[in-house]
Amino acid sequence: MSWVDVATLGGLAIALWQLVQLGRVTSATHRGMSGVVSRMGNYSVMMLVPQLSSIERDCQRAASDGDSDATLDALRRWHECAASLKGYLPKVEVISEEMLIQITASLGAATRAKSQIVDSTVSPLEATRIVRNKMTRVCQEAAELAAKMQVQVDPPAVPRTLAQSLAAAKSWLRGERSRDV
């Protein structure tokens, strides 16, 4: 075996070692990115919940006032936000099938209500009677879902014991900086 063969084997061993390291880094990066994507989906869902509630209120108010234009605008906004929520839900771990069914039903009811209002067959209040009930259900379920997700994203802090608090205070007074102070 010549020195060229030894150098070739050494180079091959180094290349294999680098491939193994690259695989580990790639795997860790993939896990990290999956977590980031999941959290982004959770934050998006949590941001949509207040918007849905606001739109539900606007629709109730506009329909009660008999304002066709404002009711149509609220139904259009509901359709956009509820469809966005429905798109994010498959990425959420705590989703229930019932939630998807309720959102789909509300989208269909909103479309039917818009048609009735545009055709002027009934008043906005009567046209939106079904969709307003479905909106209320979706908002309730979405609020429950957001609360569950909030616990996953930001779990409640574990309270310190008195001894841990005193030890942290003593070390801080001595000038020692620890991560948990």
Which residues are CB-contacts of 72 (< 8 A; sequence separation ≥ 6)?
114, 117, 118
At residue 34, does pLDDT exceed 80?
A: no
In a domain, 159, yes or no: no
In a domain, 106, yes or no: yes
Average pLDDT, the chain: 82
In a domain, 143, yes or no: yes
The enclosing domain of 86 has a CATH number of: 1.20.120.660
In a domain, 123, yes or no: yes
Over the range 76-113, which residues count as b (16 or more CB within 10 Å of their CB) and which as e?
ebbbebbebbbebbeebebbeeebeebbebbbebbeeb
Are the C-beta atoms of 71 and 59 separated by less than 8 Å? yes
In a domain, 70, yes or no: yes
Q: What's the rounded Cα separation, in Å, for the pair 124 and 36?
A: 43
The 10s digit of each residue's pLDDT in 120-177 is: 888 999 999 999 999 999 999 888 888 877 766 555 454 456 666 667 767 766 766 5
Residue with tokens 């180094």: 14
Are the C-beta atoms of 95 and 89 separated by less than 8 Å? yes
In a domain, 87, yes or no: yes
- Identify the domain containing residue 101 by its residue range: 42-154
Q: How many domains does the chain have?
A: 1
Residue 120's region, left for phi above 0, alpha for psi from -120 to 50, else beta, is: left
pTM above 0.85, yes or no: no
In a domain, 160, yes or no: no
The 10s digit of each residue's pLDDT in 50-70 is: 999 999 999 999 999 999 999
Q: What's the rounded Cα separation, in Å, for the pair 117 and 68?
A: 7
In a domain, 145, yes or no: yes
